[in-house]
Amino acid sequence: MRAADFLGKSGSLSAALDGFQVRNSQIDLCEAIDEAIQKQQVLVAEAGTGIGKTFAYLVPAIHSGKKVIISTGTRHLQDQLYHIDLPRVIKALDMPMKTALLKGRSNYLCLHRLELAPTMSFLNRDTQFALQEIKTWSAHTESGDIAELNSVSEDAMVWPMVVSTVDNCLGNECDYWDDCYVVKARKKAQEADVLVVNHHLLLADMSLKQEGFAELLPGGEVFVIDEAHQLHDVASRFFGESISSRQLIGLAKDAIAEQVNDAPDMAEIREYADALENAARDFRLALGETGARMAWQQIRHKASVAKTLQALEQTIDELSKILEQASERSRGLDQCYQRALKTQQCLTAFSAEKTANDDHAAILWFETYSKSFILHATPIDVASLFKKHTDNFSASWLFTSATLQVNRNFAHFANSLGLEHYRSDVWDSPFDYQQQSLLYLPENLPEPSDFSYTRTLLEKVRPVLRASGGRAFLLFTSYRAMNEAADILRASNDYPLFIQGDYPKHTLLEKFRVTPSALLLGTASFWEGVDVRGSALSCVIIDKIPFASPGDPVMQARIDAIRSEGGQPFMEYQVPQAVIALKQGVGRLIRDINDHGVVVIGDPRLKQKSYGKVFLNSLPKMPQTQQLADVQNFFESRVEASARETAGA
């Protein structure tokens, strides 16, 4: 029996799953994946929204009987796949097998850290309450996966205190080694026939440096990379290095906690740890204003930066020396010593006269937040690094997403990951974009750089919002534009407004879903991975083409590298990156066969610039108009059709 037969009219999925719809495009995709698995090929598959690509790859992967590793874009998708989709397919295929879900260490409770937590720092009332909730939960959890505990928010300050990192894990010298949730999850993962990870963990394992699970991947015979368009950016982070104020302060607090437990006579450890915290804060102040994202070269010679960096290095050196003396006292103190040494090595690149930029291997840059900073060394060339790692695995590789093509070809995606010998194809969405949607490109807008642009755009879309009755996402390429639009819309008070940052993302979406005629304003994180089906969302308004900031240090370094090799960075890199982002934003509108609505893209460059055709040619094949009357007629016709359906019922 072929894998695709399970997805047909007489297949077991149709019989086993309520509401299952047979889709020819899903069956075709399944057959292509099945062939790639059997022939040990690399397949790049763009699967439009609504195809059901998850079942299309799960069925042949499970049916193959091979060791399968599935990587998703986020932990949320991991949970959805492992807890809902995978069990349903296994049951329908009647092929019992071992499955496992594996996340990074920071997703699992550490019993040793839980014991240490009260000594780490001052605990306010909220943290004390959360800590008690965690202790109660720890008595009965089997997995230790912190996602189980809904009563403590995922961004609570308590979590870093009770989960481990590679740096602070005591390994098999830990008193809780036999009960360690990470060890249990890892053992289950090694024994599984189907393992579900995320891109962060996949690449951490590939680079053999982050999570300590380096023996997992070599056993894989089939690798499925879902949401593959995100992989390049994740790879940039994982094949690079970074050091943050959070790491430094965490080292200081851990050193104090370990000293209290295992070296009470060495009070000087606390003194040097406190000095490290102060040095990290002084260095943050020297880096300047919040929200900076700059190349290190632009600031490294500033006197206050050089002085505070030197002081930071000196305090780490002093702490490492005293920790070396204490390292024989316990595994925990030895780990702190090793972390201090690693931190010294990382900082060397930023203090040395010769930087990683000099040989074009990496770009050194930094970013600042209100009270913290991160220093990065990011590789410019991800493709060769990724290829070097994947060449180590003799396996089938499937890369799939709804947004992989640019201008109807896969060259940009393949080149970004160093893929050379691969098959590729596109399986279009089953949605009828010609009937379900309309693309509106307003006329007579100023240049996107004009100070009046956002206000003028809102004037243009007010009639659209009246026609749609609100029910819209407004997606912006910057916080500045989003906040300006929010102020303008609040003043008119025409629609309920939900602004990114007012609530956690999932809360914001739920409030939007249940509030009639609402508007949701968001930036980058709302351009993808957001699913609102039905009448709550009938309009998506995008302010500009989502070009990355030309001042972004990583972007600029890659532009320079392409130009130095005789390439054309704008068309080879900047445009393709923006096309993928725009496709994701447009994809928020039609999420179901019964959805309908209008996409508005305000950027006049789509019609005025030659490269605008690349963007328009990459979008779903929906009707286009520059006439407001067409938008109004579209919504009026939907109201009339709905009334007829109601009368007929």
Q: Are residues 283 and 362 in the same domain?
A: yes
Q: Which pLDDT belongs to residue 353?
A: 59
Structurally, the chain folds into a number of domains equal to 3
Q: Is residue 373 part of a domain?
A: yes
Q: Are residues 258 and 355 in the same domain?
A: yes
Mean per-residue pLDDT over the chain, rounded = 90
* Contact yes or no for 11/89 (Cβ under 8 A): no
Q: Are residues 302 and 339 in the same domain?
A: yes
Q: Which pLDDT belongs to residue 261?
A: 86
* Contact yes or no for 342/248 (Cβ under 8 A): no
Q: Are residues 394 and 497 in the same domain?
A: no
At 223 the three-state DSSP class reads strand
Interatomic CA distance for residues 93 and 269, integer angstroms: 59
From 451, 450, 402, select the one nearest 430 (Cα to Cα): 402
* Contact yes or no for 597/540 (Cβ under 8 A): yes
Q: Are residues 231 and 307 in the same domain?
A: no
* Contact yes or no for 67/218 (Cβ under 8 A): no
From 155, 224, 216, 156, select the one nearest 185 (Cα to Cα): 216
Q: Is residue 557 part of a domain?
A: yes
Place of tokens 């931190």: 343
Assign residue 54 the CATH number of its domain: 3.40.50.300
Percent of the chain predicted with pLDDT > 70: 95
The pLDDT tens digits for 152-178 are 877 788 888 899 887 778 888 888 999
From 96, 14, 95, select the one nearest 55 (Cα to Cα): 14
The pLDDT tens digits for 397-441 are 999 999 999 999 999 999 999 999 999 999 999 999 999 999 999
**Taking CA 488 as the corner, what is the angle to CA 484 and CA 492, rounded to the nearest 5 degrees?**
165
Q: Are residues 295 and 402 in the same domain?
A: no
At 417 the three-state DSSP class reads helix
Would you give the DSSP letter of residue 574? I
| Tokens linked to 3 | 């894998």
Burial of 303 (0-12, 13-18, 19+ CB in 10 A): exposed
Q: Is residue 481 part of a domain?
A: yes
Ranges in the chain, pLDDT < 70: 120-122, 207-218, 353-360, 392, 642-649
Q: Which pLDDT belongs to residue 645?
A: 62
Residue 254 belongs to what domain range? 241-379
Q: Which pLDDT belongs to residue 322?
A: 95
The pLDDT tens digits for 364-383 are 999 999 999 999 999 888 89
Report in angstroms the alpha-carbon separations of 547 from 113, 325, 574, 579, 615: 43, 52, 7, 9, 12
Q: Are residues 370 and 417 in the same domain?
A: no
Name the pTM for this structure. 0.86
Q: Are residues 389 and 498 in the same domain?
A: no
Q: Are residues 643 and 528 in the same domain?
A: yes
Q: Is residue 134 part of a domain?
A: no
Assign residue 344 the CATH number of its domain: 1.20.1440
Across the beta sheet with 472-475, the strand order is 497-499, 519-522, 472-475, 539-542, 597-601, 437-440, 624-625
Q: Which pLDDT belongs to residue 648?
A: 60
Q: Are residues 374 and 388 in the same domain?
A: no
* Amino acid identity for residue 353 in this structure: E
Q: Are residues 250 and 212 in the same domain?
A: no
Q: Is residue 419 part of a domain?
A: yes
Interatomic CA distance for residues 135 and 125, integer angstroms: 15
* Contact yes or no for 300/284 (Cβ under 8 A): no
Q: Is residue 54 part of a domain?
A: yes
At 520 the three-state DSSP class reads strand
From 269, 560, 598, select the one nearest 464 (Cα to Cα): 598
Q: Which pLDDT belongs to residue 169?
A: 84
Q: Are residues 195 and 266 in the same domain?
A: no
Q: Is residue 119 part of a domain?
A: no
Q: Is residue 113 part of a domain?
A: no
